[in-house]
Structure formats: C-alpha cells, structure tokens
Amino acid sequence: MTTLLLARHGLTDLTGPVLAGRTPGVHLSEAGRAQAAALAGRLAGVRLDAIVSSPLERCQETAQAVAEGRGAEVQTDERFVECGYGEWTGRPLRELAEEPLWRVVQAHPSAAVFPGGESLADVQHRAVAAVRDWNRRVGEKGVYLACSHGDVIKAIVADALGLHLDHFQRITADPAALTVIRYAPLRPFILKINDMGELRLPEDSEEKDGGENITGSDAAVGGGPGTT
C-alpha cells in the first residue's frame, strides 16, 4: 500500500486576510519558517521515498525544510500548485465574501469557476491525477510527502473519502498540518486529517502480528488492530 503524506505550507504574511493564490514572491513568514522546521521534526523518524512540492515559494520552502538533513531533493510538480483564482488573486477575503460567487464556492464548489482562472473541479482532477502518478512512481510500499495548498489538499481528501466535491468545504487543512492517506489496491484509507502531532505510521494490516488476509480485502474486519 502506498502512503501519501499531504502537508500544507506554513504561514505567510498573507495567510488569512488575503487570497494569495499564485501571487509570486509570497514566502514563509517567521512563524511559517518555525512551522516548517517543526514539521521536519515531526517527520524525522519517517522514511520518505520522495518529497514533492507545488512550485510556489511557500511550499518549496516548507518542503525544503523537510528535505534538509535527509540528502533528499525536492521535486516540483505543477499539478500540486494552488488553484488559479484568476481575478480573485490578491484580494482581501472580506471583500471576496461579498461576491455572488462566494456562496457558490461555499455551497456548490463543483460549479465554481473563478473569473479568469480555474474551476475547482479542474483543480481536483489535476491534483488527483498527480497523486495517482506519484503512487505508481514510488510503488506499493512507497511513502512520500507532497506539499501543497489548502483547497488542493481538501480536494484530494474528498476524492479519497469518496465525497462529492460539493462537500469538500467540510474538510480542514491548516498551515503545516499533515493529512495521511494510504492507497490500497481496492480503496484509499484516511489515517490522519489535519494533524499537528508527531507521526508514526501504522503497519500494513495484512502483516500485523503475523496475521493473514484471508478475505481478499484490504480492510480489516472490526476497524483494524491499531498502531500499538
């Protein structure tokens, strides 16, 4: 089973009041750099077969903090880039909340197309395609980190949960938080969502305690044996 660690970038000076989008030159703030260093510490004991990042600076800097000390290279994948918000880019969120499209984004995001930009449905399509591609690259025992953006991460998680994109606003992706998805042959499993603690990955359920999978399923009966 392939394990994907999704990390949102750390804080920037624009995180919260302004929709930064793909604005160039948006770097981690001092608090964001501390978050990135803490993320690296939380992942210190986890083997990573690849570290992948959105091309935007705030993600590159977050991913590089994890890569330092591992002798690893951060690989850039454009498909993990922030949503193309078009004419909304750089505008205050308080101002955007007055736009008619805002209600569509909140209640019916599968129909949302940003003026001069991208649709949220297209964001999900490209991001999930990237995940499937990297799952193949690292292999069925692979573990990799992808550093991306809030809406992109939420779209990937919605797909893994089998949720319609219209429900993706129910998912949270905070700065420097981790979401962990294990992709089995039949279905994905969500191990963690929006987690800020130290990460310890559970063993594959088929091999735990010498057990044998006799059902042909990748899901344990009764919810699974846990991590202890």
Catalytic annotation, residues: 9, 82
Which residue blocks in the chain are alpha helix, DSSP H?
30-42, 57-67, 93-96, 100-107, 120-138, 150-161
Instruction: Find, among 133, 31, 14, 138, the residue nearest to 82 by Cα.
Output: 14
Q: Which amino acid is at 153?
A: I
What is the CA 123 to chain-centroid distance, rounded?
13
Pairing of strands 74-76, 2-8: unpaired
Helix (H) or strand (E) holding 167: none
Supply the DSSP string of 45-110, one letter for each residue: TS--SEEEE-SSHHHHHHHHHHHTTTT--EEE-GGGSPP--GGGTT-BHHHHTTSHHHHHHHH-GG
Within 10 angstroms of residue 172's Cβ, the number of other Cβ atoms is 14
